[in-house]
Structures are given as structure tokens and as C-alpha cells.
A and B are shown apart, each in its own frame.
Chain A
């Protein structure tokens, strides 16, 4: 059990929750989270948004039963985190872009912070697409060499993929597929973080199996980060 420090609404249905404790984790990894006893049965996977010495934060959108319970938690209330799980984003260098759609921004903040400290990073541009309203613009601005925000359009149309060696992305399926199509024939390598319903989060239950070029993969354990070309046709 860990104690909630803050849980604030940033925009309609979008929350940032900060939890006290010394947690482990790397960019792109996630925790299985619950704030209830046995019902609902499953914990909810949330990516690490940021990690400080004595706290961890999650950025989440209210979707259904579980995230509604999260949104009602007050400071000092308790929450249970198990993790970190998953492989996380690779430590890439050179010219790097982060591209997020909606809640896909969640794992990209820690990715930006982490990559910023990498030797050999030449530039770090961040592209974020939102449906209605942008959130955490100032935060991302602090770590980006260039921040591009798109509201209501297609963020994939705002990026020149040839400018980059690596693009790390997270967001709706259609957005990630559009990005993969766009990088066809370019040298930019894409790493994407994918979502799939899961039960255990650690690779035992085979609920989140996904077909890939390399056969069946477990999104929770082998992923959630994969080379774009392993998941979609490039």
C-alpha cells in the first residue's frame, strides 16, 4: 500500500496522480494498480509518467470502473502498485522524436526526461496530438528542443520523419499505423508502446498475446514497447 500525495484533474476526465514512496522503473514501463479489494478482479495497467526520489506519478484518463475509482481518490488515501513491469523504451541517441496521441503522452514524459540525460543525444523534439485540449504543455516544453502541439487534427502529419534517427511513439492504433506508413523507406526507426487488455501484467496468463512477425508475443512481458516493423507492416 502506498499513500496518495495528490490526484488532480488537468482537463476533463484527465488526471495526474502522485503517489508517495521509493519506486523503481524505467521509461515505458508500467505498474498494475488497484485501489479496491477483490472487485473489480483485475488491476489496471498505467505507464509511469514520472519518477522522483520519493514519489511516482501516473497520467490517466477516466474510462470505466477502475479509472473512475482512481479519479475519486483523495490525498492520504491508499493505493496498491505492483511493478514495474514491461521492457520499456530503449536508450536511443542521435536525433530523436517522441510522438504521442492523447493519453499516449503518458509514457513520453519520463522518456523525454531520461533521454535528455543521455550522452550522444543530438536533439529531442516532442509531438503531441490532442482531440480537444492540450495538457501538460509546460512540462513537455521544459524537456523538448521543440514542442509541436496539434489539436483536433492528425499529429502524424506534423512530423518530418526523415529528420530523425528514432521515433518513440504511443497512442491510438490508427495513429501509430499512420506513422509506420510514413516511415516506410525512411531511416527513422520506430519504437511503439502498445496497449492490450491484461490480467497478470507479468507474463503468466497469456491474456495480452499479440500476433507479430516473430510469432506470438506477450505485450506485458515482451513489450509493451516493440519495434514498429515487428508489429505492423512497414
Chain B
């Protein structure tokens, strides 16, 4: 279909062509169908699927969401149909629509990640986003993304078994996020995305108990934007590979900030809950901003800070 937005918005990210920098982030857009009923998501640059694991997961019990000023904490616990059901039920749609599809992969053990990536590498998908940053798993998940050494190890192992463009999704809980970023680059990642949610908590003072069964949950939304932006800036200073900026983006101005901080692409997460048309509206705003300022390519403003 016709792309009614400017060619100036195109981004080459690790050899993959995005028609614009807007991506729907993992876990906030399912596998695309629901939002596509609201507007034509083919207008966007890409979509990252709900985090997939080797086997089906039914997710965490108890409260799964809690609000805090300008933010939400979630404890979904990677509920997903498992990679095989995904292939059966969801892949068709993603193959048919014209936007970069990114398969987000999570797991508890290295073996699970490897098995899953092997299966995904046989598919007609555009990119893998390796989630080593989910704070809602008792085992695995985020723990791979805390230290540079473990992050490098998993990235290296995955790099060996896939030719698909590989993006590693970093955790803001990393001891030193630039070091983790460099380690992933050294281990063969084609790009990075950051950040995943911040480990956070809430207490029910009447019940005298944590709100979440797992005690901790993941904080996202406008509340995290300034910190996430700072992390993207730091990482972009450190690495050569391209970066997707994620965290609290809810307006086109936020997206421009991330690009100026160094991100080549941006992901829209929680904002989809504030307004299901957020992705499209941010894209329109960005398009106008490019036109008004006569920006010919994203590289003119990317990383200028």
C-alpha cells in the first residue's frame, strides 16, 4: 500500500529497512491484530510481538496491574501461547502485513532461549529482539541482563545459531548499562533496544502485604521517560550499533528527544493504553516536525546531543 508519510522518515537499522522510526513495543500490542482493527498499523515502522517462550506460559497469579502517578506497574509474567502456537495462530497475520515484524523472545534458561531462537530462525520474520530484561520471572529473564558477562554469554550463544538480525533488549536494572551494551555489541548483537520496565513495588497498607504476588513488578509509562532517556543517551555514546529507544514515549516530542539522544528508532509501549491510536498520532507529529524543519533524514538530528 501507499506510504502517505515522508520518505525522509525511513531508517536503515542493522540492514533492515523501516519506513519510519515508530515501533509498537513488546507486550503492549499483542500480535498486532487488535490495534490493526483500530487503525492501519502498516503505516508504522514495525511491531515487536508479545514476549514468546519455548513453552506456553499462563503468567503470574494475583494482581497484574497497579497505577502510580503517570505510570503503571505490571506483573504479567510473560503469559504467552508458546512459540509453536504463535506460529500456528499469529504468524500468518504478521507475514501478511507490510511492516517490520520483530519477534520478542524471553525465557528462563539459556537452553530455552536457544531452542526458541532455532525455531524462529526458520521462519519468515524480520528480526529477533532478545528480551534479557523481564523483571516478572522468578527465574531467568532479567537476571541475564544485569551483568555484562552473562549478557555477553547469552548474546554470543544466540548469535551462533541465527542469521536473523539480532537486537538485545536491555534492562534498566543493569549494574552498568553501557558496559552491558558494549558486551552485547562485542558478542555479535546487530542492535540494542532499551529500556525494559524498571523493577518496582507497591504495598497494600490495609492488608500489610505487597500488592504483587511476586513482590516486585515492572514500572513503565511517562513516569520513567527521563531516566530511560538518560540511559539511551549513555548507551548511544558508548556503542556503534544502532539503538531503539523505549520508555515512556507518549508524544511525538518525546520521540524527537529520544532521536536527539541517539536512538535510530523508538518503541511505543504504555502509551498504547493511554490512547490506542498513540503510534499513529506520534508518527503524524514526527512527520510534521520533519516537514516544518525541512529535515531530510533522521541522521540530521539523531544523536546531536
A interface, CB within 8 angstroms of B: 34, 38-43, 65, 82, 197-200, 202-209, 211, 215-216, 221
A211 CA / B64 CA spacing, docked (Å): 13
Name 24 interchain pairs, CB-CB below 8 A, sorted by A. A34-B274, A38-B250, A40-B69, A41-B67, A41-B72, A41-B222, A41-B273, A41-B274, A65-B67, A197-B63, A199-B273, A200-B272, A202-B276, A203-B30, A204-B30, A204-B35, A204-B50, A204-B272, A205-B28, A206-B27, A206-B50, A207-B65, A207-B74, A209-B58
Q: Please determine whether A206 and B76 come into contact, CB atoms closer than 8 angstroms.
A: yes
A200 CA / B64 CA spacing, docked (Å): 13
A38 CA / B250 CA spacing, docked (Å): 9
Contacts of A206 in B (CB 8 A): 27, 50, 59, 64, 76, 79
Other A-B pairs beyond A199-B273, A200-B276, A204-B35, 13, CB < 8 Å? A38-B70, A38-B221, A40-B67, A40-B69, A41-B71, A41-B72, A43-B273, A197-B65, A205-B76, A206-B59, A208-B64, A209-B64, A216-B58
- Considering the complex, give the chain B residue whose CB is closest to the CB of A208: B64
Question: Quick check: is B255 within 8 A (CB to CB) of the other chain?
Answer: no
- Considering the complex, give the chain A residue whose CB is closest to the CB of B75: A207
Residue-wise interface mask of B (91-127) relative to A, using a CB-CB cutoff of 8 A (1 in contact, 0 not) = 0000000000000000000000000000000000000
A34 CA / B58 CA spacing, docked (Å): 30
Contacts of B274 in A (CB 8 A): 34, 38, 41-43
Residue-wise interface mask of B (272-288) relative to A, using a CB-CB cutoff of 8 A (1 in contact, 0 not) = 11111000000000000
A207 CA / B38 CA spacing, docked (Å): 19
Q: Please determine whether A207 and B34 come into contact, CB atoms closer than 8 angstroms.
A: no
B263 to chain A, nearest CB (A): 21
Contacts of B63 in A (CB 8 A): 197
B interface, CB within 8 angstroms of A: 27-30, 34-35, 37-38, 50, 58-59, 63-65, 67, 69-72, 74, 76, 79, 221-222, 250, 270, 272-276
Q: Please determine whether B65 and A200 come into contact, CB atoms closer than 8 angstroms.
A: no
Q: Please determine whether A207 and B35 come into contact, CB atoms closer than 8 angstroms.
A: no
Contacts of A208 in B (CB 8 A): 64
B268 to chain A, nearest CB (A): 12
A11 CA / B53 CA spacing, docked (Å): 50
Q: Please determine whether A39 and B69 come into contact, CB atoms closer than 8 angstroms.
A: yes
Contacts of A39 in B (CB 8 A): 69-70, 222
B114 to chain A, nearest CB (A): 25
A205 CA / B250 CA spacing, docked (Å): 17
Q: Please determine whether B34 and A203 come into contact, CB atoms closer than 8 angstroms.
A: yes
A198 CA / B34 CA spacing, docked (Å): 15
3 closest residue pairs by CB, A with B? A204-B30, A202-B34, A207-B65
Contacts of A211 in B (CB 8 A): 58
Q: Please determine whether B59 and A199 come into contact, CB atoms closer than 8 angstroms.
A: no
Contacts of A199 in B (CB 8 A): 65, 72, 74, 273
Q: Please determine whether A42 and B35 come into contact, CB atoms closer than 8 angstroms.
A: no
| Residue of B58, B76, B273 with highest tally of chain A CB at under 10 A | B273
- Considering the complex, give the chain A residue whose CB is closest to the CB of B72: A41
- Considering the complex, give the chain B residue whose CB is closest to the CB of A80: B275
Contacts of A215 in B (CB 8 A): 58
Contacts of B28 in A (CB 8 A): 200, 204-205
A211 CA / B61 CA spacing, docked (Å): 9
A34 CA / B65 CA spacing, docked (Å): 18
Q: Please determine whether A221 and B34 come into contact, CB atoms closer than 8 angstroms.
A: yes
Contacts of B76 in A (CB 8 A): 205-207
Contacts of A34 in B (CB 8 A): 274
A218 to chain B, nearest CB (A): 10
Given known A206-B76, A209-B79, contact A41–B30 (CB-CB < 8 A)? no
Q: Please determine whether B64 and A207 come into contact, CB atoms closer than 8 angstroms.
A: yes
Contacts of B69 in A (CB 8 A): 39-40
| Residue of A39, A40, A206, A211 with highest tally of chain B CB at under 10 A | A206
A211 CA / B35 CA spacing, docked (Å): 24
A230 CA / B70 CA spacing, docked (Å): 36
Q: Please determine whether A216 and B79 come into contact, CB atoms closer than 8 angstroms.
A: yes
Contacts of B59 in A (CB 8 A): 206, 209, 216
Contacts of B29 in A (CB 8 A): 204
Contacts of B222 in A (CB 8 A): 38-39, 41
Q: Please determine whether A41 and B34 come into contact, CB atoms closer than 8 angstroms.
A: no
Contacts of B35 in A (CB 8 A): 202, 204
| Residue of A34, A197, A209, A211 with highest tally of chain B CB at under 10 A | A209
